[in-house]
Amino acid sequence: MDDSRIIKTEYSEEMQKAFIDYAMSVIIARALPDIRDGLKPVQRRVLYDMYELGIRWDRPYRKSARIVGDTMGKYHPHGDSSIYDSLVVMSQDFKKGLPLIDGHGNFGNIEGDGAAAMRYTEARLQKVTQEAFLGDLDKDVVDFVPNFDETEKEPAVLPVKIPNFLVNGSEGIAVGMTTSTPPHNLGEVIEAMKAYMQNENITTRELMRYLKGPDFPTGGIVTNMDELLEIYDSGVGKIKIRGKVEFEKTKGGKTNVVITEIPYTMIGAGISKFLSDVAALVETKKTQDVVDISNQSSKEGIRIVIELKKDADAENFVNLLYKKTRLEDTFGVNMLAICDGRPETMGLRQILKANVDFQYQVATRKYTNLLAKEMERKEIQEGLIKACNVIDLIIEILRGSKDRNMAKACLVEGKIDGIKFKSKESKIMATQLMFSEKQANAILEMRLYKLIGLEIEALINEHEETMANIYRYEDILERRDSMAQVIINELDEYKKEYGRKRRTSIENAEEAVYKEKEIEETDVCILVDRFGYIKTIDTATYERNKEAADAENRFVFYCKNTGRVCVFTDTGQLHTIKVMDIPFGKFRDKGTPLDNISNYNSEKEQVVYMTSQTELNLRQVVFVTAQSMMKLVDGGEFDVSKRTVAATKLADGDTVVSVVTLLEQRYIVLQTKDGFFLKFSLEEIPEKKKGAIGVRGMKLGPKDVVENVYYTMVLDNTTIQYKEKNIVLNDLKNGKRDTKGTKIRI
């Protein structure tokens, strides 16, 4: 390869340049709307292509696939999905304050179902799009630029006559920046624009007398009215929105909570997420007021019904929904758009200024072009009127000329060479004709029927109309007030025809406060079987079945229904469980696995001891490990709010063998795997913190470990069985801690 053709460059510099070029392409040509027409390039191209194809609001629908294919081939070579998605969104009245496309077929719904494939759906322009977005395209009011392959021309911006950036809002993710503008009410936006035109020094506060705030197609309630001024002044902030809730009484005296409007952010999968969130509140016992929930939404509107129990506090329940679900949500505002070729975050005044300036630019170009056309018509009309007055002479010139050029030269320059005249007077008059080039062409192309008296009268009337138009256009171009009035009159017409009432209410709502229902405190009994299934029963049921309960379950203890259960494991962990999270049932109910309601993992650890938090707080707790480390810990140290904490510190390879709360026990008996027994007083065990390892309780032989731990009281005849031999614990000789103990021989 010829080395002279290789361009050597620094890799980092090339990467930087390439990334900046890519970023700017995404920002300018893909993701952000233009402040003038409020449209992203793909939206602008779809609308223009439909205009070019003649798919007007008063004509038949055309297949979406036809529109998408034509747009992609001519203007937007970035794949059909982005084009069709844009077309779909511009037709959805639940996303756009002012839909720009009239869709026919399945164009999706508010619950998140997608549109049908483009080969099935049809579309055409809305009337407002035809009039306010594309109406003046034929008047050369905006610049046209080459398309991607320079085979077509496309408008750099559409001559939109309303502040579409505010009316329809916009959302987009570029590189390093995002835009998020809420939709607004058309009538309010127009009134704000008119107010700015009448006073360019108007403040944001004064503008917000006309534009109250966002107006979402889904309705809802904006709850932070006092913060809106700062948001619209800076163009950045957070709008808090809530769904609209109504209460309906049923025949049985129950109350139904009916959600009739949802936050704008809940559109799509947010509705099903809301339903699952309410179900989760019931499953996790955050609320026990719900009887049933159903989504009865239809084409008529949103209707989500939550049936509550008879004695439920409906308003408190709604506050729970505001706190724990997306029924209350935040819309992040960042009014970013392309202004003068670069991205800029703008407040309300800046947005209106950009739109008003654009309207003046479009109107100036429009009326300049119209004036030029009227001046041309005036010239021709005056030529024809003058020609009618000397029509006999002109006919004589035409009959006496050999060709068109000879006749035209006579009409324009008064040249009579070669033309035959009937009289000397005609010849003299012909030299005095001084028509313009355009007038002469019009005379030569004039048909004879134009000489009829009524036609001449119509020509004179048309000339008067032309003169009136010229006077009007010159007035509009010369006086800014006149141009402003023209723009305002058009805005008033759009407001009258396409304006609608506000859907979103704006207020200062208090923060939702949910008061948890106070539970009457009672005693319950906790049962845990040897398989790790736990359940709660009432104390009376336990008393009736005490013998069976004690025989069938590994742990049985009383607890308050508002309390906690503490689970100590062989890995030295303490797991706590709210009693309210434990299923309450009948004596013969199976219960639920500990794994399901706590952080306990039955595959990695084993339960050593369980009791109530209340019991722990009143006692001391004895810990004994397999390596014979032991300690006493004040039970109050385990009164923690975390679901899992370390209950004790363990040496490498050590495990907890026994955890017990002390009541009246006086002696502890350690039994090892090799058959050594050591009995000594509990007073020999020192009290330590839960983070300590403890002291050695017994000297162990090689590879020997503590296998069982027993506790006795004075005059206690507790008997255990060790390898088929019965041993009375109190008959064992009293020893000292940290000795080897006595080996029991069989």
Ordered DSSP codes for 443-508: HHH--GGGGSHHHHHHHHHHHHHHHHHHHHHHHHHH-HHHHHHHHHHHHHHHHHHH-----SEE-B
Q: What is the pLDDT of residues 362-406, one digit of tens each?
A: 999 999 999 999 998 898 888 888 888 888 787 777 777 888 888
| Percent of residues in the chain assigned helix, strand, coil, to nearest 5 | 40, 25, 35
Query: In the predicted model, what is the mean pLDDT of the chain?
Result: 89
Q: Active-site residue among 120, 196, 471, 600?
A: 120
User: Does the pLDDT at position 426 exceed 60?
Assistant: yes
First-residue to last-residue Cα distance in the chain = 94
Ordered DSSP codes for 220-247: -EE-BHHHHHHHHHHSEEEEEEE-EEEE
Largest CA distance in the chain: 163
Could you tell me if 60 and 124 are in contact, meaning their C-beta atoms sit under 8 angstroms apart? yes
Could you tell me if 697 and 627 are in contact, meaning their C-beta atoms sit under 8 angstroms apart? no
Could you tell me if 717 and 697 are in contact, meaning their C-beta atoms sit under 8 angstroms apart? no
Could you tell me if 623 and 648 are in contact, meaning their C-beta atoms sit under 8 angstroms apart? yes
- Distance, in Å, from the CA atom of 423 to the CA atom of 393, rounded to the nearest integer, reads 10
Percent of the chain at pLDDT > 70 equals 97
User: Does the pLDDT at position 454 exceed 70?
Assistant: no
Q: Which two tokens stand for residue 183?
A: 């939709």
- Distance, in Å, from the CA atom of 519 to the CA atom of 286, rounded to the nearest integer, reads 12
User: Does the pLDDT at position 590 exceed 90?
Assistant: no
Q: What is the pLDDT of residues 614-662, one digit of tens each?
A: 889 888 999 999 999 999 999 999 988 888 999 999 999 999 999 999 9
Q: What is the dihedral of CA 528, 534, 538, 539, to 10 degrees?
A: 20
Which band of pLDDT confidence, cut at 50, 70 and 90, is reported for residue 586? confident
Which band of pLDDT confidence, cut at 50, 70 and 90, is reported for residue 313? confident
Which band of pLDDT confidence, cut at 50, 70 and 90, is reported for residue 298? confident
Q: What is the pLDDT of residue 25?
A: 66
User: Does the pLDDT at position 691 exceed 60?
Assistant: yes
Q: Which two tokens stand for residue 346?
A: 């703008």
Look at the block and give the residue holding tokens 């004509």: 59
Q: What is the pLDDT of residue 476?
A: 93
Cβ-defined contacts of 19-25 (< 8 Å, 24+) = 22/175, 23/174, 23/175, 23/176
Q: What's the full length of the chain, in residues? A: 746
Mean pLDDT of all residues in 317-344: 91
Query: Quick check: is 120 catalytic?
Result: yes
User: Which of these, 335, 332, 338, lies nearest to 346 by C-alpha position?
Assistant: 335
Q: What is the pLDDT of residues 263-296, one digit of tens each?
A: 999 988 788 889 999 988 888 778 888 889 999 9
Q: Which residues, in sequence order, are CB contacts of 45 under 8 Å at separation 6+?
A: 71, 75, 76, 83, 154
Mean pLDDT of all residues in 525-538: 92
Ordered DSSP codes for 263-280: -GGGTTHHHHHHHHHHHH
Helix (H, G, I), strand (E, B) or coil at 608: strand
User: Does the pLDDT at position 11 exceed 80?
Assistant: no
Q: What is the pLDDT of residue 517?
A: 67
Q: What is the pLDDT of residues 140-187, one digit of tens each?
A: 999 999 998 999 999 999 999 999 999 999 888 877 788 999 999 999
- Distance, in Å, from the CA atom of 130 to the CA atom of 124, rounded to the nearest integer, reads 10
User: Which of these, 598, 600, 581, lies nearest to 536 by C-alpha position?
Assistant: 581
For residue 264, count other CB atoms closer than 10 A to its CB. Answer: 25
User: Does the pLDDT at position 344 exceed 70?
Assistant: yes
Q: What is the pLDDT of residue 399?
A: 78
Query: When comparing pLDDT for 431 and 276, which is higher?
Result: 276
Could you tell me if 513 and 319 are in contact, meaning their C-beta atoms sit under 8 angstroms apart? yes
User: Which of these, 534, 582, 575, 542, lies nearest to 558 by C-alpha position?
Assistant: 542
pTM here? 0.74
Mean pLDDT of all residues in 472-486: 93
User: Does the pLDDT at position 518 exceed 80?
Assistant: no
Q: Residue 293 pairs with which residues in a beta bridge?
A: 306
- Distance, in Å, from the CA atom of 686 to the CA atom of 622, rounded to the nearest integer, reads 10
Q: Is 171 exposed, middle or buried (0-12, 13-18, 19+ CB in 10 A)?
A: middle
Tell me the backbone φ, ψ of residue 136, rounded to 5 degrees.
-105, 15
Percent of the chain at pLDDT > 90 equals 60
Q: Which residues, in sequence order, are CB contacts of 256 under 8 Å at separation 6+?
A: 247, 248, 249, 250, 305, 306, 307, 308
Q: Which two tokens stand for residue 321?
A: 């929904």
- Distance, in Å, from the CA atom of 139 to the CA atom of 122, rounded to the nearest integer, reads 29
Which alpha helices (DSSP H) does 123-211 contain, by range? 127-128, 164-167, 186-198, 204-207
Q: Residue 631 pairs with which residues in a beta bridge?
A: 623
Which band of pLDDT confidence, cut at 50, 70 and 90, is reported for residue 451? low
Q: What is the pLDDT of residue 28?
A: 65
User: Does the pLDDT at position 68 exceed 70?
Assistant: yes
User: Does the pLDDT at position 572 exceed 70?
Assistant: yes
User: Does the pLDDT at position 514 exceed 70?
Assistant: no
Q: What is the pLDDT of residues 188-242, one digit of tens each?
A: 999 999 999 999 999 999 999 999 999 999 999 999 999 999 999 999 999 999 9
CA distances to 28, 172, 228, 544, 651 from 19, in Å = 14, 19, 37, 78, 55
Q: What is the pLDDT of residue 203?
A: 95
Could you tell me if 562 and 519 are in contact, meaning their C-beta atoms sit under 8 angstroms apart? yes
- Distance, in Å, from the CA atom of 357 to the CA atom of 365, rounded to the nearest integer, reads 13
Q: Is 29 exposed, middle or buried (0-12, 13-18, 19+ CB in 10 A)?
A: middle
Query: Crossing angle of helices 41-53/80-89, nearest 10°?
Result: 80
The angle subtended at Cα 677 by Cα 553 and Cα 628, nearest 5°, is 75
Q: Which two tokens stand for residue 294?
A: 């159903």
User: Does the pLDDT at position 680 exceed 80?
Assistant: yes
Could you tell me if 506 and 212 are in contact, meaning their C-beta atoms sit under 8 angstroms apart? yes
- Distance, in Å, from the CA atom of 637 to the CA atom of 659, rounded to the nearest integer, reads 14
- Distance, in Å, from the CA atom of 184 to the CA atom of 168, rounded to the nearest integer, reads 7
